[in-house]
Amino acid sequence: MSNGSGVSGGDRNRNARLSKLREAVPVSNAIVGIDLADRKQMLVVTDHDSRVLARRTFRCKAWDLGAGLDWANERAARAGFAGVTVACEPTGQRWRILGQLAGDRGMSFVCVQPMLSSWARKTEDLTTDKTDDKDAVIIARLTAQLRCYLPEPNRRDLGAVAPSRRPAGGAPGPPHRMRAADPRPARVRMARGPRRGQVALPVPDLGRSDDSGHGP
């Protein structure tokens, strides 16, 4: 249905979302695509045409990637870019660690859905071949096309052991570990609801007897 402006409500919502993404992925920034793994991290620095400006493998854990981000920022500056936008897939807890490292350095941080990367890999060379080198470039290319999303704000205490509540005059209870945030975009979580296994449905106890002492 048309209106006086010729723009629908869906168009306005999409335009607003793209504007926020463009703020995180400005054309003045180079894009750092990162393929995260356990002990091997592949970094590529690209322009907005996905031309690779630099590439390097860091054999370390994700929380040791600070030096890698500093290296990528220096390579981007050499190429004439004002800064960098860091992009990765939301893999385990590594993406949260990377987001914190990027935030500490004032770098923009976005995520690319793994399913989108998988489809892009097929269109890249018509194969399902998965390699760290290729995936990092695909992540950067999708980010340049704004086919990414802004994750929820990173909590600095994520994964830390939270102090337990101590009752008045009692001994402290066992510590509990904070739960990680859902890496899916907000609109996907709202549309699909909680992920499988997040909500436990009550199961009736069919073996419990009634007040008369007889079974059901």
User: Which residue carries 């050499």 as its tokens?
Assistant: 78
Mean pLDDT value across residues 148-158: 71
Residue 176 has pLDDT above 60, yes or no: no
Question: If pLDDT is split at 50, 70 and 90, which confidence band does 134 have?
Answer: confident
Q: How confident is the model at residue 118 (pLDDT cuts 50, 70, 90)?
A: confident
State both tokens at 215: 């079974």
Q: Is the pLDDT of residue 162 over 50?
A: no
Question: Distance between CA atoms of 35 and 121, rounded to whole angstroms?
Answer: 13
pLDDT interval class at 123 (50, 70, 90): confident
pLDDT band at 168 (very low <50, low <70, confident <90, very high): low
Residue 40 has, within 13 A of its CA and on its CB side, a CA count of: 5
Q: Tell me which residue of 107, 103, 114 sits closest to 36, measured CA to CA.
A: 114
Beta bridge partners of 54: 45
In the sheet that holds 108-111, the strands lie side by side as: 52-58, 41-46, 29-35, 83-88, 108-111
Mean pLDDT along residues 121-146: 79
Residue with the larger pLDDT of the pair 140 and 209: 140
Which residue did the predictor score with more confidence, 22 or 180? 22
CA dihedral 47, 30, 180, 59 (to 10 degrees): 80
Given phi > 0 = left and psi -120 to 50 = alpha, else beta, which region is 213?
left
The percent of residues above 90 in pLDDT, for the chain, comes to: 55
Identify the band that residue 183 occupies on the pLDDT scale cut at 50, 70 and 90.
low
For residue 42, pLDDT over 60 is answered with: yes
**Phi, psi (rounded to 5 degrees) for 176:** -125, 155
Q: Note the pLDDT of residue 68.
A: 97
Q: What is residue 119's predicted lDDT score, i.e. its pLDDT?
A: 85
Dihedral, CA of residue 61, residue 65, residue 71 and residue 74, to nearest 10: 170
Nearest to 149 by CA among 30, 55, 24, 35: 24
Place 212 in a pLDDT band, splitting at 50, 70 and 90. very low
Tokens of 114: 């793994």
Average pLDDT over residues 29-47: 96
Mean pLDDT of 185-213: 51
Predicted confidence at residue 91, as pLDDT, reads 83
